[in-house]
Amino acid sequence: MYVYATCKGGCTMVDLRGRDFLKLLDFTPMEIRHLLDVAKTLKKQKRNGESHRYLKGKQIAMIFEKDSTRTRCAFEAGAHDLGMEATYLGPTGSQMGKKETIEDTARVLASMYDGIEYRGFDQEIVESLAKYSKVPVWNGLTNEFHPTQMLADIMTIQEEFGNLKGRKLVFCGDARNNVGNSLMVVCAKLGMHFVCCAPKNLWPEENLTDECRKIAEGTSAKIEMTEDIMEGTKNADAIYTDVWVSMGEPMELWEERIKLLSPYQVNAKVMKNAKKEAIFLHCLPSFHNNETTIGKQIEEKFGIKEMEVTDEVFESNQSRVFEEAENRLHTIKAVMLETLKK
């Protein structure tokens, strides 16, 4: 039998069955908290070796038009933990986009599977997939949003500090991307203090910022933008960064981004400026050394060994990046369970 998570905010009222999970703007604070509570229960069950095959017999399709380690494995391993089977459709090998429209793909997959995950480019694609699919569609990252990542990030902050209200989360770097946007949204929804530390042209889009500020009025959240990293990171509870050039962006952007974002690198001086107990977060993958193919190319071309975060901070005892990565599994399972259960 499905065991309901202990729920503080009266969220036994929450019913997400049949819902898509496309962006956090579509969810109420109570629904987001509920998913976090379910993830906590599932994490305990996994740790204790308790079977939790609540979705036995169901099947999911996973569309990946971009690479992935964490998201793919969390959906796949998570599906198996919940008793389901999963089919992976990579950037090549299916008809989607080349010979078949998103609308047709959605209708075909929905006739064979109980849920569809999509990672790819424009948010419009995943929205359209959901529109034409009669089964839940989950966003595994688009250019604009990365909603499953946020659940894992917030779960990690909650595990660290016990509460979220008023916690100061500072994002340093390219904030005009899926991760920066989604962090601003989740902080607004959960009454947190979001600070974007970046050059002005890499702040989240004005429309989205305005929408988040409106949400913040109702949740007592605070949304701030600054170009001054020392002012922004002062007294932070969590400092977060992401790669300077995201998947799908051209390699030529590296030069400009290195120039623009080097002053926003998360290093020991920045961490010292935060609270003593502050943690470091990163969605990963991360360029904290030169031990990857792209890391080596960047070093050869621009002479730098570390980018958005120093190896020292990444490996420090303030870093929670691997706890955060593990939480991708538990939170993605919560999303699948809550939207697919009977």
Residues within the interface to ligand NVA (CB under 6 A): 141, 177-179, 242-243, 246-247, 283
Q: Does 294 bind ligand CP (CB under 6 A)?
A: no
Q: Which amino acid, residue 193?
A: H
Phi-psi region of 216 (alpha: psi -120 to 50; beta: other; left: phi over 0): alpha
Select from ligand NVA, ligand CP, none the partner in contact with residue 69, using the beta carbon and a kind-dependent cut-off of 5 to 8 Å: ligand CP
CA distance 114 to 18: 10
Question: Distance (Å, rounded) from C-alpha 27 to C-alpha 189?
Answer: 9
Cα(197)–Cα(175) distance, integer angstroms? 8
Q: Exposed, middle or buried: residue 49 (CB in 10 Å: 0-12, 13-18, 19+)?
A: exposed
Beta strands in 28-89 (DSSP E): 59-64, 85-89
Which one from 11, 197, 212, 283 is the annotated catalytic residue? Answer: 283
Active site residue 72: no
Chain position carrying tokens 């959960």: 190
Indicate whether 149 belongs to the interface with ligand CP (CB under 6 A): yes
Among 11-19, 26-34, 63-71, 81-89, the segment contacting ligand CP (CB under 6 A): 63-71
Which of 55, 141 has the CB closer to ligand CP?
A: 141
Nearest residue (CB) to ligand CP, 86 versus 110: 86
CA 133 to chain centre: 23
118 three-state secondary structure: strand
Q: Which residue is nearest to ligand NVA (CB)?
A: 246
Select which of 33, 146, 193, 282 is catalytic. 146
Residues 6+ apart with CB under 8 A from 309: 241, 265, 266, 267, 280, 282, 286, 287, 288
Q: Which of residues 260-289 bind ligand CP (CB under 6 A)?
A: 283-284
Q: Which does 233 bind (CB under 5 to 8 A by kind): ligand NVA, ligand CP, none?
A: none
Helix (H) or strand (E) holding 189: helix 178-189
The site partner of 179 among ligand NVA, ligand CP, none (C-beta below 5 to 8 Å per kind) is ligand NVA
**Annotated catalytic residue 288:** no
In the complex, what is the shortest distance from the CB of residue 205 to ligand NVA, in angstroms, rounded to a whole number?
A: 15
**Active site (annotated) includes residue 297:** no
Catalytic annotation, residues:
119, 146, 149, 242, 283, 328
Which residues would be at the binding site for ligand CP (CB under 6 A)? Answer: 68-71, 141, 149, 283-284
